[in-house]
């Protein structure tokens, strides 16, 4: 049985509509801006029609982005994306601000069901408050710089072990049992990245300046509070983030230091070097569970099905529609993502698999995003399908952990056990990295006129707090530039602490699942199906977990993870 993904019918936007043409777009936006909204029924019809139009536009932008990231060397695909981002979307943003004001100013707004439309009204009010038409040109330049960064990173290849490889493919050597091979791979990757540091820093410097100007145009002194509103962070503050940094330093850093010492001792080393973190400390051969896209699909289908058969059926629907591109190749942008094609209300999954177990975890993660979007596809109002980033990442990180419980269905017992423990170790290490990247962004945008040397010094100070016990002697410059590999800094400013918040939520879902799988999955699906209809705290409560980011909660979760890794009581 496969989940049916029937495309929605069009009631307002013509079937043959050209979503990349302002000549086609503007008359519909103008019609919406002038339509009377005398009563709640008229407003709801208007929202559905607006959603149709914006869904078609969003899908066009998504497809052009997907095409570009799948082949960053294709100038036509890059040009098509930039044409949409730089010529079409700035005008659309200006006209959409008019729609926001038309909606917010209509006399019948108060007669709407306030509970049903609470989150939508709040979001549109925020959008209207921070929108400035003069920022559209700056956002065009921002998109251009982001595209340039992706092209640089997607175009990097190296010669290693007799073949030309992408950086993602080179990562398959980082867990090699031969320490000399690991170090050689590390040095090769470092040299390839170092060749682009100057250009990437130029891009980042300009992005910081652009974003600071955008915020000041909107009457903010700095970019940070502007971006918090733009991201819809209504339920926590800058101070909450700093308190979470403190909690991670207090609860996670000691646990990782303990794991580092155990790893160092098991490997018989005087100190851990940057190339010693992926190798199996007990000397087992690297885990290489697949070689092709079909093979990683088959592995993850079994894991999804073991968590709940509905997930396997939903995944089958994506496979049948060819909505996955999972294997690394030259010219492909780095990283992984799930992007919604809103006209058909289906997700596309992008990844850079090279045969590692980590690639299995990546597909579990992006699969969680995809299931989230499918659970919300029945909403005709686009805003109800547009949920907060924190709950989006809870969906994906929870699925990683739920799938982890069933690795014995696809691996030998021994391989499943070591993959299990390694992933949980990675959860803790990643929390330190998340805190580091978020702390850097708070520093960067709080000090927008900093020099590059000052930024490197700030990063080193941050990593001393969160960095574990790795010995970087001889690679001090590389340590000071670690941050530059994090694409979110360029392409999704401040979108990173959400991973830490979501990990705390996901660890609770996972703990509940080990106690009562059926109830935990039912609550997980129920919470995700709320989409953007309810505030974040209510969605979290529906999932059967607590919205608590304090050290008291985090310590219990870290203790639970450590118990699974090393058998602590």
Task: For the chain of 569 residues, list the mean pLDDT of each consecutive stretch of 10.
Answer: 83 94 97 97 97 97 96 94 92 94 96 95 95 93 92 91 90 92 96 96 97 98 96 95 97 95 95 94 90 97 98 97 95 92 97 94 97 97 95 97 97 95 95 97 97 97 90 96 95 94 98 98 98 97 96 96 82
Q: Kindly report the CA angle at 392 between 340 and 338, in degrees rounded to 5?
A: 35
**The pLDDT of residue 569:** 45
Which residues have a Cβ under 8 Å from the Cβ of 274 and sit 6 or more positions away?
186, 470, 472, 475, 478
Which residues have a Cβ under 8 Å from the Cβ of 292 and sit 6 or more positions away?
327
Report how far apart, in Å, the C-alpha atoms of 445 and of each of 89, 356, 512 are.
Answer: 26, 36, 38
Domain parsing of the chain, residue ranges = 22-121
Which residues have a Cβ under 8 Å from the Cβ of 410 and sit 6 or more positions away?
289, 299, 302, 303, 416
Backbone angles phi, psi at 347, to 5 degrees: -95, 150
Of 105, 92, 125, the residue nearest 25 (C-alpha): 92
Of 404, 430, 423, the residue nearest 504 (C-alpha): 430
SS3 sequence, 194-228? Answer: HCCHHHHHHHHHHHHHHHHHHHHHCCCCCHHHHHH
Strand partners of residue 166: 157
Contact 164, 330 (CB under 8 A): yes
Contact 500, 439 (CB under 8 A): no
DSSP type of residue 270: S
CA quadruple 194, 490, 159, 296: dihedral positive or negative?
A: positive
Contact 460, 436 (CB under 8 A): no
Instruction: List the structure tokens of 291.
Output: 């070689």
Distance CA 505, CA 499 (A): 10
**The pLDDT of residue 296:** 97
Instruction: List the structure tokens of 152.
Output: 């640089």
**The pLDDT of residue 2:** 67
Q: Which pairs from 338-342 meet CB under 8 Å and 24+ separation?
A: 338/366, 338/369, 338/370, 338/373, 338/396, 339/62, 339/65, 339/66, 340/58, 340/62, 340/373, 340/385, 341/59, 341/62, 341/63, 342/54, 342/55, 342/56, 342/58, 342/59, 342/62, 342/382, 342/385
Predicted structure pTM score: 0.93
Listing DSSP states for 380-448 in one string gives: SSHHHH---HHHHHHHHHHHHHHHHTTGGGTS-HHHHHHHHHHHHHHHHHHHHHHHHHHHHHHHHHHST
């Amino acid at each position: 049985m496969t989940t049916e993904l029937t495309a929605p019918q069009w009631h307002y936007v013509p079937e043959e509509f050209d979503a990349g043409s302002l000549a086609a777009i503007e008359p519909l936006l103008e019609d919406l801006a002038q339509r009377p909204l005398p009563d709640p029924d008229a407003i709801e019809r208007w929202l559905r029609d607006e959603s149709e139009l914006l869904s078609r536009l969003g899908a066009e932008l998504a497809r052009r982005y997907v095409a570009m990231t799948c082949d960053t060397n294709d100038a036509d695909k890059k040009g098509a994306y930039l044409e949409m981002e730089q010529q079409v979307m700035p005008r659309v943003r200006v006209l959409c601000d008019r729609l926001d004001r038309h909606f917010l100013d209509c006399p019948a707004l108060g007669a709407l069901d306030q509970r049903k439309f609470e989150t939508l009204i709040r979001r549109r009010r925020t959008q209207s408050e921070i929108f400035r038409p003069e920022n559209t040109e700056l956002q065009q330049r921002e998109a251009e710089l982001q595209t340039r960064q992706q092209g640089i990173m997607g175009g990097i290849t190296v010669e290693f072990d007799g073949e030309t490889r992408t950086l993602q493919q080179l990562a398959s050597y980082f867990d090699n049992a031969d320490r000399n091979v690991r170090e050689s791979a590390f040095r090769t990757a470092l040299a390839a990245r170092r060749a682009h540091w100057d250009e990437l820093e130029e891009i980042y410097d300009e992005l910081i300046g652009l974003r600071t100007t955008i915020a000041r145009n909107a009457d903010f002194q700095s970019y940070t509070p502007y971006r918090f509103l733009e991201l819809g962070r209504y339920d926590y503050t800058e101070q909450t983030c700093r308190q979470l940094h403190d909690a991670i330093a207090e609860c996670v850093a000691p646990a990782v230091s303990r794991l580092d010492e155990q790893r160092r001792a098991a490997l018989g080393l005087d100190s851990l070097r940057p190339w010693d973190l992926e190798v199996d400390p007990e000397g087992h051969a690297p885990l290489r569970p697949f070689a092709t896209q079909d093979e990683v699909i088959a592995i993850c289908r079994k894991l999804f099905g073991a968590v709940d058969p509905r997930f396997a059926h939903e995944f089958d629907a994506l496979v049948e529609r060819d909505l996955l591109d999972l294997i690394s190749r030259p010219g492909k942008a780095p990283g992984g993502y799930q992007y919604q094609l809103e006209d058909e209300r289906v997700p596309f999954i992008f990844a850079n698999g090279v045969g590692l177990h980590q690639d299995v975890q990546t597909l579990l993660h992006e699969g969680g995003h995809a299931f989230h979007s499918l659970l919300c596809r029945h909403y005709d109002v686009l805003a109800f399908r547009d949920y907060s980033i924190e709950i989006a990442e809870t969906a994906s990180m929870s699925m990683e952990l739920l799938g982890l419980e069933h690795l014995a269905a696809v691996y030998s017992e021994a391989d499943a056990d070591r993959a299990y423990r390694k992933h949980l170790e990675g959860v803790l290490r990643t929390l330190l990295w998340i805190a580091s990247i978020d702390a850097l962004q708070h520093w960067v945008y709080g000090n927008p006129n900093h020099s590059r040397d000052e930024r490197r010094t700030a990063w080193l100070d941050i990593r001393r707090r969160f960095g574990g016990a790795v010995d970087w002697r001889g690679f001090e410059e590389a340590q000071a530039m670690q941050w530059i590999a994090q694409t979110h800094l360029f392409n999704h400013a401040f979108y990173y602490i959400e991973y830490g918040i979501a990990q705390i939520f996901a660890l609770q879902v996972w703990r509940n699942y080990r106690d009562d799988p059926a109830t935990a999955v039912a609550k997980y699906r129920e919470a995700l199906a709320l989409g953007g209809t309810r505030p974040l705290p209510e969605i979290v409560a529906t999932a059967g977990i607590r919205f608590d980011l304090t050290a008291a909660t985090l310590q219990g979760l870290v203790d639970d993870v450590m118990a699974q890794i090393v058998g602590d009581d």
